[in-house]
Structure 1
Amino acid sequence: EYAFSPSAVAIDLESGDSKEVFFHAKRVAYSVLGTVTLISGQPKERVIVEARSESHDFYEEATTDDAGSFRLRSLLPDITYTIK
């Protein structure tokens, strides 16, 4: 969900050496975290949750785990998604 600059750095170290390297990180995508539960409050596992953008043809999906939790990744900024 981040782009790093520089994207890679080669470092040569001798035994006992240390070196400090700085990277710049820019946020390029977002995640949505959530939980699916039954009306009774029990978690619902193996449910497919999707985020879809009608205007940009973007689609991501995740499946809930044993605790009903999910994470939709790689959602782009400034895009409106419908989650269902």
Structure 2
Amino acid sequence: MNSGTIRRLILTLATGYLTVFGVRQIPYEFDNEWLVLVPALILVYALTVWIEGKVFRDESLAVPAAKPAKKRAEPSVKGFKS
């Protein structure tokens, strides 16, 4: 696992925990808590990945790859070779 994967895992776990904690602090009794938690977790995950991509921009992806130099075509030799 590279550092970006580990960082995203830690950020996802932290924001997911905070989302669950925040939803449980709402002073309203939900009939089914999962109907609130699942969309909230999906939204928080999407925002976390987007913000993580903006903050920790990967320089290896940002630098355009150098184009290979074109080889010059050798002139065709016509006639007899000596």
Q: TM-score, normalised by structure 1?
A: 0.24
Larger proportion of strand: 1
Larger of the two Rg values belongs to structure? 2
Give the structure with the higher percent helix. Answer: 2
